[in-house]
Amino acid sequence: MNLYEHEAKEILAQYGVPVPEGRVVDTAADAEAAAKAFPGHKFAVKAQILAGGRGLAGGVELAATPSKVGEIAKRLLGSKLITPQTRASGETVSRVYVEAAVDSDKDIFLAVLVDQSTSQISVLGSSAGGVDFEERVKHEPGIVEQLTLRADGSFEDADGDVFLHKIGLPQSAYAPARDIISALIKVFVRIDASLIEINPLTLTRDGALCAVDAKISIDNNALFRHPEFAGLSSGSDGDEIEMQAQKDEINLVRLDGNIGVVVNGAGLALATQDIISDKGGRAANFMDIRTTATSLQVARGIGILLGDPSVKSILLHVHGGGMTPCDTIAEALAIALSRSQRKVPVITRLAGHNAEYARQMLVDRHIPHENFETISSAVQRAIAHAA
């Protein structure tokens, strides 16, 4: 679950991380009024979307007067921002965050996450903070420094100072920066975050540190012990249909192709997608049906694909395992088709647990479909139908 910037900053502020003064609004008039109430005379207007890459996509603008703030808010509200992390159609801006802008002397990148190779909480930093950090780090992974923590998540002041020196902060900022890092680690553990990213942490012209942007992702698996997040407006990633699928025990990621793909298991789903792409097709989605999903839940997942006009064929690829037998998915297909107004060619490839039984079930129930023994022949057919 990703938090919006304003939600992330509210949490950080509670733990003592300095953030600019700001207000979230959903009308241009409120944006202008918010700016008027701030001290100073430089403002930032920031589209509240969950995808990253917002700055380069025109989602953040500076304004010198409250009326300019209103104009920018008017333009952003209701518009769609397209970034490398959104779908091709973009993410709609329904709220903007109005902030007092700070004068930057230096922009730092800071992140807290679990390092998979050490299985420990880790702090990453870079002197190359700012909007183009993600692009730069792809080509220069060496610009990222790591602060090694003790098992309890704390660190020696001296180690902290070495790290802060490497990421380009002046000595005068070491003590407050160490406090910020300690606070971030504390937040990370308390709220079961999977990622906290401050980009940039700005060193202002008067020598203060300030978290000018903030991203927090919460570990979905830990939400059961965090009822405080249940009321937040944030979604798993801002796509309502994908969130709906989550509730049905299905990991769904919508893509921009025309072949609807129904697969059990993330690995098999990726493998299927690879074969589709190799053969020149384009998947409309990634789907990983969790082992706990019932046939009714899977039917709703298939229903999403049937209801999407860009989906021209459906490839149902199941390798029945110990927990998801093929007949559960075949049953789901039958239910989904019986509920759907739209007819879409269905291609199946069923293997593993109860494959034979599932095939017979589809035949007996007169479910229109074409079954194939091998993955590649099924994929080939699904592509031919979608073309």
Partner 1 sequence: MSILADANTKLIVQGMTGRSGTFYTDQAMTYGTNVVGGVRPGKGGKTHIGRSVFNTVKDAKTATGANASMVMVPAQHAAAAMIESIEAEIPLIVCVTERIPVLDMVRVKDALNGSASELVGANSQGVLTPGACKIGVMSTADARPGHIGIASRSASLTSEVVASLSAIGLGQSTTVGIGGDPVHGIGFVRCLELFAADPDTHGIVLVGEIGGNEEEQAAAFLKQAKIRKPVVSLVVGRHAPAQRRMGHAGTLSVYGSGTAQSKNAALKAAGACVVNDVEDVAQAMVDAMVPA
Q: What residue has token string 């592509």? A: 383
Identity of the residue numbered 19: V
**Based on CB atoms, which residue is closest to partner 1, 18 or 199?**
199
Q: What is the smallest separation between the CB atom of 289 and partner 1, expressed in angstroms?
A: 10
**Based on CB atoms, which residue is closest to partner 1, 52 or 260?**
52
Q: What is the smallest separation between the CB atom of 319 and partner 1, expressed in angstroms?
A: 5
Give the span between the Cα atoms of 144 and 129, in whole angstroms.
10
| DSSP percent split of the chain into helix, strand, coil, nearest 5 | 40, 25, 35
Q: Does an H or E element contain 184, and which?
A: helix 174-190
Please report whether residue 294 would count as binding partner 1 according to CB under 8 A. no
**Based on CB atoms, which residue is closest to partner 1, 90 or 176?**
90
**Based on CB atoms, which residue is closest to partner 1, 102 or 358?**
358
> Which positions from 226 to 245 touch partner 1 by CB under 8 A, shown as an x/- string?
-----------x--------
Kindly state the number of chain residues that form the binding site for partner 1, as judged by CB under 8 A.
64
- Rg value, the chain, Cα: 25
Among 20, 66, 160, 320, binds partner 1 (CB under 8 A): 320
Please report whether residue 288 would count as binding partner 1 according to CB under 8 A. yes
Give the span between the Cα atoms of 317 and 298, in whole angstroms.
13
**Pick from 316, 384, 314, 385: nearest CA to 355:** 316
Among 39, 139, 151, 341, binds partner 1 (CB under 8 A): 151
Contact 59, 49 (CB under 8 A): yes
**Based on CB atoms, which residue is closest to partner 1, 33 or 351?**
351
Q: State the first-to-last Cα distance of the chain, in angstroms, to the nearest integer.
A: 36
> Which positions from 188 to 227 touch partner 1 by CB under 8 A, shown as an x/- string?
-x--x-xx-----------------------xxxx-xx--
Kindly report whether the peptide bond that precedes residue 200 is cis, defined as omega within 30 degrees of 0: yes
> Which positions from 13 to 42 touch partner 1 by CB under 8 A, shown as an x/- string?
------------------------------
Contact 97, 54 (CB under 8 A): no
Angle between helices 174-190 and 5-14 (to 10 degrees): 110
> How would you class 29 by CB atoms within 10 Å of its CB: exposed for 0-12, middle for 13-18, buried for 19 or more?
exposed
Among 62, 232, 374, 384, binds partner 1 (CB under 8 A): 374
Q: Which stretch binds partner 1 (CB under 8 A): 156-164, 293-301, 320-328, 330-338?
A: 320-328
Query: Any bridge partners for residue 123, and if so which?
Result: 112, 147
Please report whether residue 351 would count as binding partner 1 according to CB under 8 A. yes
Q: What is the smallest separation between the CB atom of 70 and partner 1, expressed in angstroms?
A: 33
Give the span between the Cα atoms of 296 and 329, in whole angstroms.
9
**Based on CB atoms, which residue is closest to partner 1, 23 or 226?**
226
Among 13, 275, 335, 361, binds partner 1 (CB under 8 A): 275
For residue 336, what is the DSSP state? H
Give the span between the Cα atoms of 42 and 133, in whole angstroms.
24
Helix (H, G, I), strand (E, B) or coil at 233: coil
Scan residues 163-192 and list those touching partner 1 (CB under 8 A): 189, 192
Residue ranges binding partner 1 (CB under 8 A): 52-53, 84-85, 111, 113-114, 116-117, 119-121, 124, 134, 137-138, 141, 144, 151, 189, 192, 194-195, 219-222, 224-225, 237, 251, 253, 255, 263-271, 273-278, 286, 288, 290-292, 319-323, 351-353, 374-376
